[in-house]
Chains A and B, each alone.
Chain A
Amino acid sequence: MSPLLLSLVSGMFIGGAAGYLGSLMLSRRMALVAGPLGHLTLPGIALAILWGFDVSLGAFPFVILGVIVIWLLEMKTKLPMEALTALVFASGVAIAFLFLPIEQAEAALVGDISKAGVGDTALSVAASLAIIFAVKRTYPKLVLGNISEDLAASEGIDVKRYDLLYLFLIAVIVALGVKMVGGLLTAALVAIPPSAARNIGKSLRQYTLGAMAIGVGSAVLGIVLSRVTGLPAGPLIILVSTVIFVLTLRFVR
């Protein structure tokens, strides 16, 4: 299979899963959590690039570490998420640049999906499908928990337990996302498609399917544009979704 086809397949699945999960994160104003987590993956990406293994595999342990750190810090300090974002973001970037040669930094910062092999494409597809499946199974409970912990409690839902699953899913999508758009842009991958879908959706179904479709569409269009222009795919994918968002603005009621 050609590298273009492989990167398109990876992009479609990661973009779709990110949009779908992002639709859930938006309901809780948590879309930006993916930001600090993405930045925290930078040391892992740096290691993966230096030692030549899959970027997602390098990123994953660091993002899990990030989830635990943010979770603990929030419990301990009750600081607002923005403050923790700044702390975690800066540390991740700083550590990465201690040992990553600056000329190799581009792939870590903005991603590189053009060299996708069969193995890591299969990994991306499998992990994306797992995310979509897990989100679909738990969507009503998570949305209810996001709207109101009290309402969820009156339904007998243990919000804390689902929170952990939720953070784990975010960790997986960030690890996948950094391969496609890099450590700096992952937040946009989960934030922009659902934001655009929210502008046009008139029901939960339209909103979630819309977020997924916009995620898939942006990835495909971005990768094709990258092939045509020779510019990196990561920023193009994000910019395509931004353009779609701007186009949806005219439908805001």
Chain B
Amino acid sequence: MGKSRASLPLPLISVVGQPMANAAPAQEKPELRTNARVKMTMQHDEQVLQVLDLKVTLDGRVVVANLSFTVRQGEILTILGPNGAGKTVLLRTLLGTLPYEGSIKWKTGTRIGYVPQRLPYIRNIPLTVADFFALKRNAGNGVVEMLRAVGLGGDISMTLIGDLSSGQFQRVLIAWALAGDPDVLLFDEPTTGVDIGGEETVYALLARLHRERNLTMLIVTHDLAVVHRHSTTVLCLNQQPVCQGPPLSTLTPENLRRLYGSEVKFYEHRHE
């Protein structure tokens, strides 16, 4: 991380913290998303996502409950919490693959790019990087360009996915998510420490993409440094929301104890 610090941009977006259980109603704005210039001017107040009173139950166990938050255009929201806190479940619910109670409202026409943490089944069959992009609806001819944008050479497109290093694979996943020209990027646990010297880190890459494309980002992490350096807003989640707001004022020692400490749990820890 140290090497890339100089290249990190300051947050471009003013911080928009939403007090819990006090979310503003969805704003009815006209469709503006095709015009990038207009989008830039609207980025401070345009609401992209509104979640109200979300509850997710999997196999009879409540995984996420009482969760309300909003995300605005251009915001970088990090979702922080210990293992098993429901962070990945939250992302998957936002994508629409899990059943839930409450409401999730994406702004009409929002294109979502998703960067999963792992894809265990992708190595079952021989897929080249180009094959993987061909599975996408409108990846078009920009594959090489997308790969370059994430710091990979175009010649990697004929390489089998199974032959990539984990760092390369993560970049391919990011490029894949970007190929559909998304408005919002959902990123599950970016990993660090796999980068070769001289390359920008994954986080520096995300910061650059945020700057260049005015992407709204939701990043799941348990790395505090990431939250402080890269996000405009943080949502601390341990099955229920523990705290949310701008990182500096939100991540107080008291709140972190509540998030990670065992003495203040909303649910009894059960070994099942």
Chain A residues with a Cβ under 8 A of chain B: 23, 26-29, 78, 140-141, 143-144, 146-151, 153-156, 159, 194, 198, 201-207
The distance in angstroms between the C-alpha atoms of A27 and B137, with both chains bound, is: 19
The interface centre, meaning the residue of B92, B126, B131 with most chain A CB atoms within 10 A of its CB, is B126
Q: Are A151 and B114 in contact (CB under 8 A)?
A: yes
Q: Are B121 and A146 in contact (CB under 8 A)?
A: yes
Q: Are B126 and A148 in contact (CB under 8 A)?
A: no
New A-B contacts (19) at CB < 8 Å, excluding given A29-B124, A202-B126, A205-B131: A26-B125, A143-B125, A143-B135, A144-B136, A147-B119, A148-B119, A148-B122, A149-B97, A150-B92, A150-B95, A150-B97, A154-B112, A154-B113, A154-B186, A155-B136, A201-B125, A203-B126, A204-B128, A204-B134
Whole-angstrom distance between the Cβ of B61 and the nearest chain A Cβ: 13
Residues from chain B with Cβ under 8 Å of A28 in the complex: 121, 124
Q: Are A153 and B96 in contact (CB under 8 A)?
A: yes
Q: Mark interface residues in B165-182 (1 if CB within 8 Å of A CB, else 0).
A: 000000000000100100
Residues from chain B with Cβ under 8 Å of A146 in the complex: 121, 124
Residues from chain B with Cβ under 8 Å of A203 in the complex: 126-128, 130-131, 158, 160
Q: Can you name the residue of chain A whose Cβ is closest to the Cβ of B186?
A: A154
**B116 interface contact, C-beta 8 A:** yes
Residues from chain A with Cβ under 8 Å of B131 in the complex: 203-205
Q: Are B97 and A155 in contact (CB under 8 A)?
A: no
The distance in angstroms between the C-alpha atoms of A204 and B158, with both chains bound, is: 11
Whole-angstrom distance between the Cβ of A24 and the nearest chain B Cβ: 9
The distance in angstroms between the C-alpha atoms of A205 and B116, with both chains bound, is: 25
Residues from chain A with Cβ under 8 Å of B91 in the complex: 150
Residues from chain A with Cβ under 8 Å of B186 in the complex: 154
Q: Which of B71-105 contact A (CB under 8 A)?
A: 91-92, 95-97
Whole-angstrom distance between the Cβ of A203 and the nearest chain B Cβ: 5
Q: Are B121 and A144 in contact (CB under 8 A)?
A: no
Q: Are A27 and B125 in contact (CB under 8 A)?
A: yes
Q: Can you name the residue of chain B whose Cβ is closest to the Cβ of A158?
A: B96
Whole-angstrom distance between the Cβ of A99 and the nearest chain B Cβ: 40
Q: Are A207 and B124 in contact (CB under 8 A)?
A: no
Residues from chain A with Cβ under 8 Å of B127 in the complex: 143, 203-204
Q: Are A140 and B134 in contact (CB under 8 A)?
A: yes
Q: Are B135 and A140 in contact (CB under 8 A)?
A: yes
Q: Can you name the residue of chain B whose Cβ is closest to the Cβ of A210?
A: B126
The interface centre, meaning the residue of A23, A26, A141, A204 with most chain B CB atoms within 10 A of its CB, is A204
Q: Which of B95, B125, B134, B158 contacts A154 (CB 8 A)?
A: B95
Q: Can you name the residue of chain B whose Cβ is closest to the Cβ of A144?
A: B135
The distance in angstroms between the C-alpha atoms of A148 and B121, with both chains bound, is: 8
Whole-angstrom distance between the Cβ of B219 and the nearest chain A Cβ: 15
The distance in angstroms between the C-alpha atoms of A141 and B119, with both chains bound, is: 16
Q: A143-B135, A147-B121, A202-B160 are in contact. Are A207 and B126 (CB under 8 A)?
A: yes
Residues from chain B with Cβ under 8 Å of A29 in the complex: 121, 124
The interface centre, meaning the residue of A154, A205, A206, A207 with most chain B CB atoms within 10 A of its CB, is A154
Q: Mark interface residues in B149-173 (1 if CB within 8 Å of A CB, else 0).
A: 0000000001010000000000000
Residues from chain A with Cβ under 8 Å of B128 in the complex: 202-204
Residues from chain B with Cβ under 8 Å of A27 in the complex: 121, 124-125
The distance in angstroms between the C-alpha atoms of A150 and B160, with both chains bound, is: 22
Q: Can you name the residue of chain A whose Cβ is closest to the Cβ of B180?
A: A155
Residues from chain B with Cβ under 8 Å of A151 in the complex: 114, 116, 119
Whole-angstrom distance between the Cβ of B182 and the nearest chain A Cβ: 8
Residues from chain B with Cβ under 8 Å of A26 in the complex: 124-125
Residues from chain B with Cβ under 8 Å of A153 in the complex: 95-97, 114
Q: Are A148 and B116 in contact (CB under 8 A)?
A: yes
The distance in angstroms between the C-alpha atoms of A249 and B18, with both chains bound, is: 58
The 7 A-B pairs of least Cβ separation, nearest first, read: A154-B114, A204-B131, A201-B126, A140-B135, A27-B125, A144-B135, A153-B97
Whole-angstrom distance between the Cβ of B269 and the nearest chain A Cβ: 24
The distance in angstroms between the C-alpha atoms of A155 and B132, with both chains bound, is: 13
The interface centre, meaning the residue of A28, A147, A156 with most chain B CB atoms within 10 A of its CB, is A147
Whole-angstrom distance between the Cβ of B150 and the nearest chain A Cβ: 17
Residues from chain A with Cβ under 8 Å of B97 in the complex: 149-150, 153, 159
The distance in angstroms between the C-alpha atoms of A206 and B97, with both chains bound, is: 32
The distance in angstroms between the C-alpha atoms of A42 and B118, with both chains bound, is: 40
Selected A-B contacts with CB under 8 Å, 29 pairs: A26-B125, A27-B121, A27-B124, A28-B121, A140-B135, A143-B127, A144-B136, A146-B121, A147-B122, A148-B119, A148-B121, A150-B97, A150-B114, A151-B114, A153-B97, A154-B114, A154-B177, A155-B137, A155-B180, A194-B125, A198-B125, A201-B126, A202-B126, A203-B126, A203-B128, A203-B158, A204-B134, A205-B131, A207-B126
